[in-house]
Amino acid sequence: SSSSSSTMQQNPDGFAQIDLFSPSKINLFLRIVRRREDGYHDLASLFHVIDLGDEMSFAKSSSETKDTLVCEDASIPLDESNLVIKALNLFRAKTGIKQYFWVELKKTVPSGAGLGGGSGNAATALYAANKLCGDVATEEELLEWSGDIGSDISVFFSTGAAYCTGRGEIVEDVEPPLPLTTKMCLVKPSIGLSTPTIFKALDLDKRSKAEPLDLLKSLNADGCTYENAINDLERPAFSKLPELGELKDKLIDATKEDGAVVFMSGSGSTIVLLGTDTVPKFAMEDDDLFKSKARLISRKKGEWFVPSNV
Ligand code: C5P
């Protein structure tokens, strides 16, 4: 696997700095089970952490009032609306430790992609804050707390492959259903999709009827197939963004020969090409599309991903 313990160095202010890799995720299947009273949806999904990720550096700050978040990407909010700041606020609230932090974020994962990029940043920030404060909390506690700030943050405290239920915050580690060497490409139009909008557009009557645990069984037995790579959020996403459905169809056509299975991740707008490391020519030539190869990754509990090892 691709993880090891964090690297320690001094940052310019004299505080110990840790450099971590903040991964993203895909959903190998995503079933929506029901709409809840609180506006959320119970889901059942096989999440897998992947090696498309951001680089993050953390150090304690001498400030007694606020965290400092540095990011060159102008589209990323640096205030309390950023999940990183929410994660650090949560860490202080839960532990009672009045420590502020300096965080540098180098973004690679697109936003509005269904890849949980911001959620991965929040999980990485919780891990880092706890590490810099001497591991005052266990990883199980961090996982439990993380559900307070978003639904798909907890999965990043799994070992890589996780069957997630509830809002997504109930995380059960599973044996990776696919080899970590499985080839994969991601293709995303420049337009992203907002998760609440897609959940609102979901027509529960038009969901798949497949039992989530049958999908998991099929995934384990047969690998990823068009029968088990079901995402209930594809229909509402394609109704909101018809070009995305057209893109998926074109990607299916163009990858038939290499046996890829093509599906949307999370609430979109990333389309996953599982089983190939070749992006079709039409997509390569389209500058409006984000393209990346990716791999499934896993880690040992107690360690985090570091840039040099992913
Ligand atoms: O939990 P998070 O803040 O990531 O979710 C954003 C929004 O997505 C929620 O406010 C809700 O509208 C929708 N959502 C949902 N069911 C989930 C996860 C998210 O309806 N399981």
Render pLDDT for 83-118 as a digit per residue (tens, 0 to 9).
Answer: 999 999 999 999 999 999 999 999 999 999 999 999
Whose alpha carbon is nearest atom 8 of ligand 1? 196
| CA 167 / ligand 1 centre spacing (Å) | 7
Q: Could you tell me the two tokens for 50?
A: 């992947």
Q: Of the candidates 55, 41, 69, 260, which has an alpha carbon nearest to the alpha carbon of residue 152?
A: 41
Q: Is the pLDDT of residue 3 over 90?
A: no
SS3 assignment, position 169? coil
Instruction: Give Cα separations from 282 to 187, 234, 278 (angstroms).
Output: 11, 22, 11
Residue 36, CA atoms < 13 Å, CB-side half-sphere: 11
- The whole-angstrom separation of Cα 139 and Cα 242 is 41
Amino acid at 301: K
Per DSSP, the three-state class of 283 is helix
d(CA 259, CA 80): 44
Q: Find out whether 32 and 232 touch, Cβ atoms under 8 Å.
A: yes
DSSP E strands in the chain: the ranges are 7-10, 16-35, 41-61, 68-71, 100-106, 161-165, 170-173, 184-189, 261-264, 271-274, 289-293
Substitution site in 45, 90, 164, 199 for ligand 1 pocket (most atoms within 8 Å of beta carbon): 199
DSSP letter string, 57-84: EEEEES-SS--EEEES-TTS--STTSHH
Q: What confidence category does residue 7 fall into, taking pLDDT thresholds of 50, 70 and 90?
A: low
Substitution site in 195, 200, 202, 231 for ligand 1 pocket (most atoms within 8 Å of beta carbon): 195
The answer to whether 162 and 173 are in contact (CB under 8 A) is yes
Output the pLDDT for position 1. Answer: 38
Which domains are present in the chain? 7-176+301-309 (3.30.230.10), 184-293 (3.30.70.890)
Name the closest-CA residue to atom 19, ligand 1: 40
Pocket of ligand 1 (CB under 6 A): 39-41, 43, 150-152, 167-168, 195-196, 199
Pocket mutation for ligand 1, best pick of 167, 198, 231, 240 (most atoms within 8 Å of C-beta): 167
Residue 118: which of 17, 240, 244, 25 has the closest Cα? 25
Kindly tell me if the per-residue pLDDT of 10 is higher than 90. no
Q: Give pLDDT tens digits for 167-222.
A: 999 999 999 999 999 999 999 999 999 999 999 999 999 999 999 999 999 999 99
pLDDT digits (tens, 9 = 90+) for 271-304: 999 999 999 999 999 999 999 999 999 999 999 9
Q: How far is CA 228 from CA 255, 279, 280, in A?
A: 18, 22, 23
Atom of ligand 1 minimally distant from the CA of 151: 1
How far is ligand 1, taken at its centre, from the CA of residue 151, in Å? 6
45/33 Cα distance (integer angstroms) = 10
How far is residue 152 CA from its own chain's centroid?
7
